[in-house]
Amino acid sequence: MAIKYIPYFPNTLEGQALLDNFVRTKRVLRYRDNNRVIERIERGMPYYETELRERVGTNADGNLVIQGECLSACAYLKDRGITVDLVYIDPPFASGADYAKKVYLRRNPKVAKAIKEAENELDIEELKAFEEKMYGDIWNKESYLNWMYENLMAIKSVMSDAASIYVHLDWHIGHYVKILMDEIFGEDRFINQITWKRNFAHGDTGQGAAHFGRVSDYILFYSNGDPNNISFNGGYTPYTQDYIDKVFKYSDEDGRRWQSLPITAPGGASKGNPYFEFMGIYRYWRFTKENLQLMLEQGKIYQSKDGAVPRQKGYLDESLGVPLQDIWDDIPAVQGQAIEYVNYATQKPEALLERIIKASSNEGMVVADFFGGSGVTATVANKLGRKFIHTDVNLNSIQTTRDRLIVAKAEFNLMEVKDGVSLYRNPVQTMEKLKKIIPGLRNEDALDKFWEGSIIDTKYGMTPVYLPNLMDGTTRLLDKPLMNRIIHEAMPDLPEDTKRVIVYYIDIDNRDEIERFIYEQNNTLIEIELRDLKQVLDEVVAEDYAEWEVSEEQNGLFSGWKVEILQFQSDRVKRKIEEINLKNQQQAAKGKKKYAHIELSDEGLETIEWLSLDCTASEKDAPWHSDSEIKIDKLGYVIKNGVKTSDFWDACVRSEHKPLRLKIRNICGDETVYVI
């Protein structure tokens, strides 16, 4: 349950034009639940206990990596009076797609050592890999727009008056979000719609395709306050050689290329340009007489002939380039072979964020990304001398960003919003898992999609089951508006012989009041049973098993401690591989593809991705301090404390001081802490 609710804005409860405008939007977009959204906004943002999980460096700038939803992260910032100067978000696109990460088994350390000694390269066909869903971008339009409206309201509440926001979308939903942005920030705060051409061609066109290639994303750029007061540094792109040849067609004796530019200006009192004589010519001029005289002395003024109006030499080597326009076609998408590639489905190029951050912030400002994904915003902001806030609900995002920032030598606090839900890995995986561990839950074609499925028993027959959608935090709280919708919208459409429904919740506004509301409002013969979903979720998380051996080590220049991993067993990874093997076997039986069986060794060390030693704190639940860590890449090479090496993993992790705790992350991303 939320500790409290943080107001979005001081006068929200008094009623704002903002909320009235959204009612107007309701008539335009024609989607439901607007009143419920307004009620939630009037209540405020849910504030949960937020726990420090790890501190990297001294973090004097207060950089944050927060695992949690946008609303709860903004509530945390708002409660602490933290404001941001620039927001870039790359939220789900409502594309209807599931996004997966390719997961690779690592080499068994003993095998890796033998390969290294033989100086053999790994045959790429020996890599055992499978895909695992990271998150789902599956929304209906109504749910997405309501969810997005609340998130944008929360983000606006923590932006400074002179802040800017960039919202990255595509053709699926971008035009609708533009309307929301106009409502929330104001039509007069719209600055640009930037078109980013991410590909030069797309494989979804060609013979039989009924559309042109979709190669562009759209980035909506708004200011939070007066557009004239925001930080904006523009930018330039280099001239093409063709442009240089056409425009800079003159050269001095020393080879400096230049173009001819006018120095005269429009006349009239309203223009304010000075009028005087220069080089025997009376005109209105773009510059003062003193500046023109200085330019003449520098050789930057010339006359094509006696008595001609003088002009300026615009030198190529002094030109900044072409001012940035709102079509960006010079930044390609991240490819798998790129150095910056981190195996994240929706990863955006660093060059794209560098352009945005340079254009709309200055050094020392706070840059935030509330759907942080692969961590590119935080990484680039750190490189450019900005403070950063990275937020994402997905554990894979937090781990990817954390490791990326370690490589970048950034300092930050890693926080976790304790919202009462122990996410198995991420929301989409948790939803899939819930359907398996809730006894008797099955799909039911006869029911509306509002219901997750049904349970059959001898007393009640078919019992419809409602589950909150973990990918949409706005369904987390069971309150009167949601209960009203269940009773008056969802239940009347149930089959006539329905005797009972089960409603799971994560948070509940006030159980006694909700049950009283049910008693007063439920005029059907259907019984409503409330169940706490947290009790089910607590059974989802299972820790991995590990055996290790600790010893002191003196080896050449190294003197310290060694932790050797003897055994590592992850039940979840094992079951995942069993599922993949069964699926591959079934596909092979149908003749669809060759069957490749994935085998695990007895030691299970190939299922380890990352290890860290804490030599500072011994309590299992204390904030983590990584005194030494290694990450094993998909080829088996070691990244030690953020530095890539050409060494294979030897099943050990070392530290200068005596280790007190060990943390191991398996290849699917689950992390377990062990007290040594």
Region of 331 (left: φ > 0; alpha: ψ -120 to 50; beta: rest) is beta
Q: Which of 17-31, 103-117, 539-553 has the lowest mean pLDDT?
A: 17-31
Higher pLDDT, 1 or 350: 350
Sheet with 190-197, edge to edge strand ranges: 49-56, 412-418, 64-67, 387-392, 366-369, 84-89, 159-169, 216-223, 190-197, 327-328
Q: Which residue has 């025997």 as its token pair?
A: 280
pLDDT in tens, 52-108: 999 999 999 999 999 999 999 999 999 999 999 999 999 986 655 555 667 788 887
- What mean pLDDT value characterizes the chain? 86
Identify the sign of the CA torsion 366, 327, 262, 243.
positive
Q: How far is CA 642 from the centre of its chain?
A: 21
CA-CA-CA-CA dihedral for 417, 419, 424, 425, to nearest 10: -30
Rounded CA separation 412/386 (Å)? 12
pLDDT confidence tier of residue 513, bands split at 50, 70 and 90: very high
Q: Which of 2-11, 308-317, 431-440, 535-544 has the lowest mean pLDDT?
A: 535-544
pLDDT in tens, 326-359: 999 999 999 888 889 888 888 999 999 999 999 9
pLDDT confidence tier of residue 519, bands split at 50, 70 and 90: very high
Over 90: is that where the pLDDT of 32 sits? no
Rounded CA separation 390/111 (Å)? 38
pLDDT in tens, 112-163: 554 444 444 444 444 466 666 655 555 677 778 888 999 999 999 999 999 9
Q: Which of 25-39, 369-383, 427-441 has the lowest mean pLDDT?
A: 25-39
Domain 427-537: state its class. alpha beta
Q: Which helix (H) or strand (E) holds 24?
A: helix 17-29
**N- to C-terminal Cα distance for the chain?**
34
User: Residue-wise over 498-535: b if at least 16 C-beta within 10 A, else e?
Assistant: bebbbbbbbbbbeeeebeebbeeebeeebebeeebbbe
- Mean pLDDT over 277-305 rounds to 95
3-class DSSP assignment, residue 494: coil
pLDDT at 13: 39
3-class DSSP assignment, residue 629: strand
Token readout for 347 is 């990863």
- Mean pLDDT over 579-592 rounds to 80
Token readout for 342 is 């981190």
- Mean pLDDT over 208-234 rounds to 89
340 close to 364: Cβ distance less than 8 angstroms:
no
Rounded CA separation 451/464 (Å)? 6
Rounded CA separation 32/29 (Å)? 9
Rounded CA separation 355/365 (Å)? 15
pLDDT in tens, 476-506: 789 888 899 899 989 999 999 999 999 999 8
pLDDT in tens, 367-393: 999 999 999 999 999 999 999 999 998
Rounded CA separation 191/115 (Å)? 57
Q: Which of 29-33, 303-307, 628-632 has the lowest mean pLDDT?
A: 29-33
- Mean pLDDT over 571-598 rounds to 80
The long-range contacts involving 387-390, CB below 8 angstroms and separated by at least 24 positions, are: 387/61, 387/62, 387/63, 388/63, 388/64, 388/412, 389/63, 389/64, 389/66, 389/73, 389/77, 389/82, 389/84, 390/64, 390/65, 390/66
pLDDT at 421: 65
Over 90: is that where the pLDDT of 250 sits? yes
pLDDT at 555: 81
Q: What is the CATH topology of the domain spanning 51-96+138-234+326-418?
A: Rossmann fold (3.40.50)
pLDDT at 129: 67
28 close to 176: Cβ distance less than 8 angstroms:
no
- Mean pLDDT over 452-459 rounds to 90
Domain ranges in the chain? 51-96+138-234+326-418, 237-320, 427-537, 545-675
CB atoms within 10 A of CB 206: 9
629 close to 641: Cβ distance less than 8 angstroms:
yes
Higher pLDDT, 590 or 594: 590
| DSSP H helices in 221-373 | 241-247, 289-297, 350-360
Over 70: is that where the pLDDT of 28 sits? no
**What is the percent of the chain with per-residue pLDDT over 90, rounded to a whole number?**
57
Question: 104: Cβ–Cβ under 8 A, 6 or more apart, which residues?
Answer: 127, 128, 129, 634, 667
pLDDT confidence tier of residue 419, bands split at 50, 70 and 90: confident
pTM of the predicted model, to two decimals? 0.83
Q: Which helix (H) or strand (E) holds 513?
A: helix 511-521
pLDDT at 24: 45
Higher pLDDT, 411 or 175: 411
CB atoms within 10 A of CB 578: 12
Higher pLDDT, 656 or 443: 656
pLDDT confidence tier of residue 582, bands split at 50, 70 and 90: confident
pLDDT in tens, 171-206: 888 888 998 899 899 999 999 999 999 876 666 666
Over 50: is that where the pLDDT of 16 sits? no
pLDDT at 22: 47
